[in-house]
Amino acid sequence: MRKFFRGTFLLISFGCHAQTSYLLKPDRVFDGQSMHENWAVWTQGNKIMAAGKAEDFPAESHQAQVIDLQGTTLLPGLIEGHSHLFLHPYNETSWNDQVLKEPRAYRTARAVKSAEQTLLAGFTTVRDLGTEGAEYDDVGLKKAIDEGIIPGPRMIVATRALIASGSYGPSGFSPDFVVPQGAEEADGHDDLIKAVRRQIGKGADVIKIYADYRWGPNGEARPTFSEDEIRLIVETARSSGRPVVAHASTAEGMRRAIMGGVETIEHGDGGTPEVWKLMKDKKVALCPTLAAGDAISQYRGWRKGQDPEPERLAEKRRNFKQALDAGVTMVMGGDVGVYSHGTNAREMVLMVDYGMKPLDVLKAATSGNARIFHQENRIGSIQKGLLADLVAVTGDPATAITDIEKVQLVMKDGKIYKKPE
C-alpha cells in the first residue's frame, strides 16, 4: 500500500499540477527526422512552441521553467504500433486462460497498471489492436486516460477485432459448447457490414481483422476471409474515415489483405519477395512484431545468448531483411502484452539487431508511426504547434539504440509524468 501511494504521488505531483511552460535543455534533440546538437525545446500548455537554438526563441520563453537535461537526447513521445493492454505475458498466464478465466474487471485493473507502465517507459501513444475477449473495455480505458482519471498513453483502439467464424480461439473444446472467443465472429456481406459498423459505433478508431489464423487441417495457418470480404470491410470502415489493419502471417493471407485495401500488415512471417513488392507498390506498411516471437521462443525454452537461434526466428530475420531491401515501410510495434508492458523498447532494439539503422528505427517509432496512423498533424515530431509529447533518454539512441530504454523524462500533453531525480 505504501508503494502504491508513493507512485501515485509522483504522478499527481508531476502530472495533474504541471507547470504551464517549460524550457527543456538536453544535449541534443531528435525532431522525428534528424538529430540536432545543442537544441532546446519550449512548451507552453499542451503545445510545442519552439524547437532550435534557445537564443532564437521569443522573449516569452525566458519565463518558462528550465529543465536541465544534460547528458540526454530529447525525442518526440514514442508511439507503440501494436499493443494489447488487456493481455499480460504468456509465461505468467496462457492466452486461453486470460480469455476464459480472468474476470473482465481483473483484466481492466491490470490494463490500468499496464497503461501507466507504458507511459513511464516513454510511449505516449499506443495503437491497441484488440482486447482479446475483453469486449469494448479499451474504449473505457481510453476515456479514463483522456479525462485524466488515470495516467496512460493516448490510445488508438480496435475494440474486439474481427474474425471469420470457426477460425480463432480459444478452440479445441467439445463442439457441444459455445466457447467465448477472443474476437468478434462475422461472415458474408450483411454480417460483416453490421459488425464493422457496430465496432465503430462502440468506439473503434481502427478495424482489425484476422486475414489468416491457425485453423488448417493440421493446425497450420490458413487464410480466413476472402478477398471480397476484406474489400467489403475496408470499404465500410473507410466510409467512416477509419483504416483497416490485418493480422496476417501467410503469403496468401497477406496478399488478400493487401489487395483488399488494408493499411498495415501485422506480423507478416510468411512474406515472400512477391508479397513484399506488392506491399511496396500498394504502400502497405509492415508491423513485424519481432519482440513477440523472441519472447515466445524464450517461453518455450530457448536460452537467448546461449543456444543457437531457433529456425523460426532465423526465418523471421531473413524475411525482415527481404522486406527492408524491398523498400517496405516499417511500423514500430512489438505485440506488447505477449511480453511485459513498459518494455516496449525491446522491439526497437530487435529492429536494429535484425538490420535497421538506429536512426531509421527512431523515425519509425515517432514520425513514421504518426504518419501511418494518420496522426502526423498532432504527434510524432518536435515542431511548433504539435502536442507536447516528449521523452528524454540518457545517451544517444541514434548511436546506441539501447539508450532508448534509459528514460529520464516523460511529458504528455504538456504535463510531466516522469523527470530526473
Nine-digit cell string for 224: 480466413
Q: What is the DSSP letter of 302?
A: -
Instruction: Name the β-bridge partners of 260.
Output: none
For 4-18, 194-208, 339-353, which range has the lowest pLDDT when averaged over its residues? 4-18
Adjacent-strand bridge partners of 393: 73, 407
Element of type H or E holding 154? strand 154-157
As given in the structure block, the three cell numbers for residue 396 are 544517444
Residue range 270-291, pLDDT digits in tens:
999 999 999 999 999 999 999 9
In this predicted structure, what is the pLDDT of residue 141? 98
Task: Name residue 319's amino acid.
Answer: N
- 4 pLDDT more than 70: no
pLDDT digits (tens, 9 = 90+) for 50-64: 999 999 999 999 999
Contact (CB, 8 A) for 135 and 181? no
In the predicted structure, residue 344 carries a pLDDT above the cut 90: yes
Question: Quick check: 5 pLDDT over 80?
Answer: no
Please state, rounded to an integer, the average pLDDT across all residues of the chain. Answer: 95
Would you place residue 105 in the very low, low, confident or very high pLDDT band (cuts 50, 70, 90)?
very high
Burial class of residue 157 in the structure, from the number of CB atoms within 10 Å of its CB (0-12 exposed, 13-18 middle, 19+ buried)? buried
> Which positions ≥6 away from 82 have C-beta within 8 Å?
127, 129, 266, 287, 289, 331, 333, 334, 335, 336
Residue 8 has pLDDT above 70, yes or no: no
Q: Which of 79, 154, 155 is nearest to 345 (CA)?
A: 79
- What pLDDT, in 10s, does the model give residues 202-248? 999 999 999 999 999 999 999 999 999 999 999 999 999 999 999 99
pLDDT band at 252 (very low <50, low <70, confident <90, very high): very high
Please give the pLDDT value at position 161: 98
Over residues 196-207, the pLDDT tens digits come to 999 999 999 999
| Rounded average pLDDT over 296-300 | 98
State whether residue 324 is helix, strand or coil.
Answer: helix
Residue 19, pLDDT score: 59
CB 210 within 8 A of CB 162: yes
Share of the chain above pLDDT 90, in %: 95
Q: Does the predicted model carry a pTM greater than 0.85?
A: yes
